[in-house]
Structure 1
Amino acid sequence: MEIGYLGAFLMGLFGALHCVGMCGSIMGVLTFSLPEEIRKDPLQLMGYLSYYSLGRILSYTLAGTLAGAFGAGLLFRISPQYGHTILLLMATILMIAVGLYLAGWFPAFAHIEKAGAPIWRKLEPIGRKLLPVSTPWQALLYGLIWGWLPCGLVYSALFIAIGQGGMMQGGLFMLLFGTGTLPAVMATGIFAEHVMRFSRNPKLRMIAGILLIVFALTGLIINW
C-alpha cells in the first residue's frame, strides 16, 4: 500500500511547472546576483546552481526524515491501518489541488500554500543576509533555507513520506522527490527568462495540471 520511490521521482517531475512558478523567480534572482565572471562561465554557473539545488533537496530530505520518524513513532502505533489510509487520501487531495491550481481551475489554492508561512517568515531574513552569493558555501546555505519555502506540492510529498514506515524511508522518498524537481529548477537557473515565459503558457500549465491529477488518482487506485 505504498507509493514507491519511482512515484516520488515522478511526482517531482510532473510537478515541474509548479516548481518553476514557485522557485523560478528565486532561482532567476540568485543567478543574476552572481558575479558576472561566474555567470559567463558555464561550468562555474552550473556548479553554483548545483549547490543551490543540493541545499534545497537536503532540506526536503531532512523534512522527509522527520516526517518518516513521526509516522513510525506515533501515527501508525495509534492506528496502523487507518492512519495510512488517511494520509494517502490527504496526499491525493493535496496533489489534485496542486494540479487544479496549475491548470488554472483552483486559484484559491494559493491560500493553502501559506500554511508554512510562519516558518518561512523566520528563515527568509536569514537567507537575505547570504545575498549576494559569492561562494559555493553561501549557495549551499541559501539552498538549505530555500527548501522551506511554503509549497503545496512539497506538503503532498511529506504526507506520503509520513506513511513510508521510518526515518530512512521518509528521507529517501523526499530525496527522490527533490531529484525529480531538479531538471525544471536547474533549467530555470540557466535559461531563466525563457523558462519562466514557457511555464506561464496556459495550455502547457493545463496539461501539466491534468498529468498531476492523473498521477494522484492512479496512485490512490494502485495503493488503496
Structure 2
Amino acid sequence: MNAIDISAILSVAFLGSLGHCIGMCGGFVMAYTSAKIDPSSAALHQFFAHLIYNFGRMSAYVVLGLLFGALGSLFTFSAYVSGYFYFVAGIIMVLMGLSMMGKIKFLTSLESNLAFHPFVKKLFSYLIHTKKMVSFYGLGVLNGFLPCGLVYFFLAKAATSGSAFYGALTMALFGLATMPVMLGLGYVVGFLKGNVFRDWMIKIASLIIVLYGIYMSYLGYSAVVG
C-alpha cells in the first residue's frame, strides 16, 4: 500500500462522509438517535452509544475487506493476470464514480433494493426497539453490510490489494476516516444536509474515485502490455 493508495482512501472516505454518507446513513443515524437515546441523558452516555455504533460499522467493513482482499489474492498469481484484474477493477471504480456524480446508473438499484429487503427491515426494527447498549453495535454492523456505492469503491480497492490483511486495513482506514462526521452527525446534521454543500463534497469525492480508477486501469494496462 503506497502513498497514493493511502491518500486516495483517506480523501475519498472523508469527503464521501461529508456528502454521500450523510445522504445514505443520515436517516439511519437520526432514526436510532431519536428512538434509542434520551436527549436528557449524560453527554458521555450519548457519545458512547454513537461510538459503539461506529465500531459496529467498522467491524462490518473490516470483515468485508478481509474477504475481498482474500478474493483478490486469487488473481495475483502472475503479473499478467494481475494486470487484467487491476484494469477491470479500475473500470469498475470509474463507473462507480460516474454513478455517484449522477452521470450514469450503476448499482443504484442494488443499493436501494437490498436496503429495503424484508429481512433487513425486520432486523432493524428489532434492534431499534431494544434499549440494550449492544444493540447500537448491532445497528452499526447492519449499516456496515448495507449496500453503498462508496463502500463498493473501497471493496474494489481492497480486492486489488491481493491480501486479506491489506484488504482489512483498507476498510479499517475507510471506517476511521468516516467516523468523525458520523460521530458528529447528530449535532451538525442541519449544516451537512445543505444541498449545495453535500453536492460539492459528492462531486469532489466522485472525481477522485474516477481519477483513481483511471490510475488503477493504467497500472493494469502497463502490467499486461509491459
TM-score category (smaller protein): 0.7 to 0.9
1:211 is displaced (CA, Å) by 4.0
Asked if 2 retains the 8 angstrom alpha-carbon contact of 1:161 and 1:171, the reply is: yes
Deviations 1:101-126 (A, max 9, x none): 443333555225358x2996544422
Identity %: 24
Give TM-score, length-normalised by structure 2: 0.78
1:220 is displaced (CA, Å) by 5.1
Does the alignment pair 1:12 with 2:13? yes
Say if 1:32 and 1:55 are closer, same or farther in 2 by CA, change over 3 A: same
Kindly report which structure 2 residues correspond to 1:104-119, keeping only aligned pairs within 5 A, or say none. 104-107=102-105, 109-111=107-109, 113=111, 117=114
Q: Which ranges of 4 or more aligned residues in structure 1 deviate by more than 6 Å?
A: none
Say if 1:191 and 1:169 are closer, same or farther in 2 by CA, change over 3 A: same
2:24 corresponds to? 22
Asked if 1 retains the 8 angstrom alpha-carbon contact of 2:65 and 2:167, the reply is: yes
1:95 corresponds to? 93
Please give the alpha-carbon distance, in whole angstroms, between the structure 2 residues aligned to 1:131 and 1:106.
34
Please give the alpha-carbon distance, in whole angstroms, between the structure 2 residues aligned to 1:185 and 1:164.
26
Asked if 2 retains the 8 angstrom alpha-carbon contact of 1:21 and 1:199, the reply is: no
| Aligned residue pairs, count | 219
- How large is the Cα RMSD of the aligned pairs? 3.1
Give TM-score, length-normalised by structure 1: 0.79
Deviations 1:21-74 (A, max 9, x none): 211111111111123246x533222211111111011101001111122222x3
Tell me, what secondary structure is at the counterpart of 1:147?
helix
1:138 is displaced (CA, Å) by 0.8
1:173 is displaced (CA, Å) by 1.3
Asked if 2 retains the 8 angstrom alpha-carbon contact of 1:49 and 1:189, the reply is: no
Gap regions ≥5 residues in structure 2: none
1:47 corresponds to? 48
